[in-house]
Each structure stands twice: as C-alpha cells, then as structure tokens.
Structure 1
C-alpha cells in the first residue's frame, strides 16, 4: 500500500511539473529559440492599390524567401477600437508580426513584454519615436527626401511653373511630404509655385477630384501630386479629364495598378514617389532570419537606402526628357551623398511651416 501511494504521489508531482511547463504561455509558439515559422501583416484593409498593398507584397516576399507561412489580418477602415485586439491576437498566433504607424507602436507598448520570443516589425514610424521594446524593430521612412525628388521633377516637367499637391489629412506625416515637395520645387525652380489642398480624409475621391480641378483650372497647375490614399484616384481622374495633365502617385508605382483595368487613366501617371515598404519589410524579415536586424532600435531609411524614390519605369523613361532624367539622377546622388539637406516637418515650428507654404503660394 505504501509503495502504491508513493507511486501515485510521484505521478502527481510529474503531472504538476508538466502542467506548469504548459501553462498560459502566450509565447508557446515557434518563436522560441529563434525559430520562426509564420508572419502576419496587421492593417486596416488591403486593396488600396497603394501603401497597404505594397506592404503586404513585402511580407509575402519575405515569407516566401524564408519558407514560412504568411497571413494578412485586417481590422477594417475607421475602426481604431479593433486595432489593439487584432494586434494582440496576431501576437498570440504568429511568430513575426508586421504593422505600420505610431498608433500601433503605442498599442504594442502595452503588451510587448508578454511576448519575449515573438518579433515585431513596425514601419512608417515617426523619426523621434523612442523605441524601448527589445523585441520590436522600427523603421522611419524619409518621405521628405522622396518628395523632394517629386517636387523637383514636377517643376522640371511643368510648362506653367505651377505644380499641385493634394493631401489626405493635414497631419505631420503628410506635412513632411509637403515640406520635401516644396523644397524640391524651389531647388528646381526658385520662382515656382505650389498649389496646395487637403481633403480632410483618405477616402473621398470626389473631393480630391474637385480640389485637383481647381488647381488645374484656377491656379494653372499642370503637374499634380497626390498623397491621399485611395482618395487620390480623384486627382488622377481630374488630370485625365482636364487636358491630360501629369500626375505623380504615391507609396507604390500606381501606374502599374491601372495598366490593365484603366490604361487611359494610367497614362496620366508620369511616376510615383514610392515608399518601398515591400523592399524595407522584406529586408527586415530576411535580416531577422540572419540575425542582423537590430531589434530594440529605430532606423531611418530614405533615398540612400533606395526606399523613398521615384518610379523609373518604362513610361517614365519614355516621357521624361533625357536631360531631365540626368538632372534627377544628379539630384538623387546629391541627396544620397548628403550634399542636399532637406528639412523635415518633425520638430519644425508652425510659423516656419506656414512661411514655407506661403512662400510658394499659387
């Protein structure tokens, strides 16, 4: 009897140890010991033919190159209340989680320590963000550098000396695009003008079309740049319907998205200022597997890293004169070498920003 009781007691102790090892561990997936078998991309929605789509492409390519599964997890448009539970659920299930924006970084700060063996790649983060999360890597895109190129090209292609800019919301990141755009315009044409408008959201393409039409017909702008998400389609339509003015897209090579579905619309998109999120994300995933990614830090990637640049597709090469292409190559080289200094909206005083805008008012 004593022997039976001893055996039962020993079995109970072993079971207790086993259960302790398999407790409520959010990190019990394959992320342990540096083994990653899955990656998730958390976003509002894909299908925007711009920022989210090109980001998802980078996640898929990174997953394919490292032979792991990938999944896009959408929390929906204008549903900020769903962002935190969606990000948390992704961390529960996937080994690497990719997401964009400062709001996602703030959400992750609440629970990153619960997932010490998972890895988080956060991109499009403000340059002054202080990343204290040891399992998160943050990327800031120097969109002001890329839009310096866009502004310079717009002026070089303009016949009127007035170019246009239509933004979604007048928030810091879009203002940062505008600062670079204005300075690029002034670099190429000191007396050039920039017509500026903001829609107030990222979905109202009709409003974008209306504002772009005003810039074309009232301000005499003949090259227009949109930084307005899916609303930017309206700018392309305005350029198409008002004498085929040139348009510059954003985030992805937007002409490529319309080549099959609407080739006439595609033919007004001279180029796009790409935030090559796909290149950056794929690189970050690859460096995670090679052990080269500096988790716990924030890095700033721009023209020198090849991630905020103009689309130099065949259409660009056919329609931009050779001397202008050479000029743009020189500008890009000077930015890369640090010979051209470009201001940023981050940390800029409001009166300085307003003076910059007013100085090119169309």
Structure 2
C-alpha cells in the first residue's frame, strides 16, 4: 500500500486549518497490525462529532473495529463548510488504508476521484436505495430505516392516549421522508384512525426551533408521543417533551444512553430510539475488509433482518412499555424480518402520492 506516511499525515490533519481531527485513536493504534494485515489504518470523515446521534454512533463502530483488529483510527471533522468535504476525502485517501463516511454526497465525490486512489478502500454508508454503485473500491450500504420507523410509529400509537402522535424532522428531503412514511405506516397498523403530526425544521442544528415545533404539535394538535428525526436539533424535541410530560422517541443511536449521565431529566423522557445501528454497519464492513471477505463494488441493503434498523429495547423501555405492547412490537418485527410485512418506501413513489398519504393522517 502507499500509506507509509499515514501517521505523519494524521498529525498534519490535526493541525490543519482546513480539517480538524478529533484527536482520538483506536487503542491498538500503532502503525502496524498485530494480525499482519496489509491494512494498518482507518479514517472516519464526518462534519463534526458531538451530535449524540448518527455521527457519534458511526465513530463508535469505527473505534470498536479498530481496537479489535488493531488498526490506527482517526476521526476527521470537516465542519459546516461542505466545500471542505472533497479535500477531506482526498487527504484521508492519501493517509489511511480504509476511509469510511456516510451519505450520497460522499459517494458523488468518490465517483469523480476514485481512480486516483486505487489502493484505498472506501466504505460509504447511509446511501439511498437508488444509488448505482459502479466503483470497484467502494463498499456501499443503505439502511432500511423505514422498517425500524414502522415499529416506532406502531409503538408511539400504542403508548398514546390521544391517538395523535408527532414527528419533528430536520429537512424535507427524500431520505427524511423515508423515515416519515415508515412511521405513518406503523401508526396506521396500530391505530387505523390515528393521526400523525409532522413538521420540518429546515436543518439539523436548530434546537430552539425543534422545541417550538414539538410544542406546537403537543399544544395545538394533541400529540402526546413525539419522535425526533433531526440529528443534533432533536434535543429541542426532548426538552419540549420534558416540559409537557410527554414521551419522546429518539433516532439513530440509543439516545437515552447518551443523556443518562449528563442530562438525566432528558434521558427519562426518551422511551426508546429508532436505531440505525451504523456502529454495527461500520464495524462489520471494516472487519470484513481486513479479513478479505467484503465484496466491493455493490450496494448492500441492510435493515431489521440484519439487526441494523431496530428499536432500542433497553431496560428503561422494558420497564415503561407494557409487556403486551412489547410482545406486539416483537411480533411486527418478526413479520417484517420474514417479509410477511413489506414496508413501503418513498423511493420510487410518485411525489403527489406520498404527499397525499402523509397529509391524510394530519390532525
């Protein structure tokens, strides 16, 4: 491999004004692998850590894999300026044997530049199901979040006393709408006459607006269980739930675990989270790459069956959710995993059809 300068470059990235490295490495992180593998290092690229959601979860999976198979691991944060995404990818491709990242924007960058880095293995997760993967050194994964959202919507209705549940989303995009359509389908499964309020913040960082929208859903629409699909802004939803004495449902990570030590009053409103277990996805993809079993150049679609898009069934969930409801959700999960229930996606659906369906359950 061409990565003999990996450690030096990692230091350069840390000090660079262009990129800000997180300064965290896998515990096994010297320049050699105990297994003797040709892969010595892995770099994870994201906007920034600290969202207590998808980015943090993904990084934890990278760290776990790095520690278990003795790779040098580094997180590279490019910040809020998207013009720094491509330079981040290029620098990481020069400095690390395996480079991992999330989202179609990264795939589009790789589609332009991958021929310049034939020796680097790229792992890109959180892709859309319509992504045409034709890059030979890319391992690509989409997560079937609509399947986990089906369970979240069904649970929310079972725990609701008003028959109206809510969802506050970051942006009105196709990937986010794929969360919403699953949530609505699950709601209708549990309560065919149930209502689902939904609102869009317009981004993923404005906690104040997220709280305001959640309070509108609670005060004006009667929502008494509110799900956040808004990344870091979702804290505002949980704050609204705390103020109103309502249940909140988190997203991506088991968000109760993130808050239980620092904000226990917030943790106690999070009934569960619809997990998109990118920690598992990242760790598996990295390990399979090092072991030589990963098949590159294709798109994998992982969901409930693979244990990727699932509800967080932690001790708090088990204590707060009646056993009858737990059994009901477990039954739905088994039916989705077996294919007996097929959850519809937004992808491939006519926009007018989706909007009509979404608006049909508004309070």
Unpaired runs of 5+ residues, structure 1, are 1-26
The correspondence for 2:66, drawn from 63, 68, 86, is 63
Specify the alignment match of 1:198 in structure 2: 200
Q: 1:156 aligns with which of 155, 158, 166?
A: 158
The equivalent residue for 2:301 is 300
State the alpha-carbon separation in 2 of the partners of residues 29 and 140 from structure 1.
29
Q: Counterpart in 2 of 1:7?
A: none
Shift of residue 290, structure 1, vs aligned partner: 1.7
Equivalent pairs, count: 333
User: Which residue matches 1:15?
Assistant: none
Secondary structure of the corresponding residue to residue 228 of structure 2: strand
Deviating beyond 4 angstroms after TM superposition, the runs of 4 or more aligned structure 1 residues are: none
Partner of 1:251: 252
Using the size of structure 1 for normalisation, the TM-score is 0.90
- Provide the rounded CA distance (Å) in 2 between the counterparts of 1:166 and 1:322: 28
CA displacement 1:29-49 (0-9 Å, x = unmatched): 269x97100000000000110
C-alpha separation between the residues in 1 aligned to 2:304 and 2:197? 25
1:216 alignment partner in structure 2: 218
Bigger radius of gyration: 1
Alpha-carbon offset, residue 65 of structure 1: 1.1
Q: Show the counterpart of 1:313.
A: 314
Of 35, 38, 45, which residue of structure 2 is paired with 1:35? 38
Cα RMSD, aligned residues only = 1.2
CA separation in 2, counterparts of 1:356 and 1:305? 28
Aligned to 1:122: 124
* Alpha-carbon distance in 1 for matches of 2:92, 2:318: 42
Structure 1, residues 166-220: CA drift from partner, whole Å, max 9, x if none? 0000001100000000000001110000011000111111101011001111111
CA distance in 2, matches of 1:220, 1:138: 41
Alpha-carbon distance between aligned partners in 1 of 2:171 and 2:52, rounded to the nearest angstrom: 19
Alpha-carbon shift at residue 346 of structure 1 (Å): 1.1
Counterpart Cα distance in 2 of 1:292 and 1:213: 49
**Of 88, 91, 94, the match for 1:92:** 94
SS at match of 1:334: helix
| 1:75 is the counterpart of 2:75 | no
Q: Which residue number in structure 2 is paired with residue 263 of structure 1?
A: 264
Q: In the aligned structure 1, how far is the partner of 2:273 from the partner of 2:216?
A: 22
Structure 2 counterpart of 1:183: 185
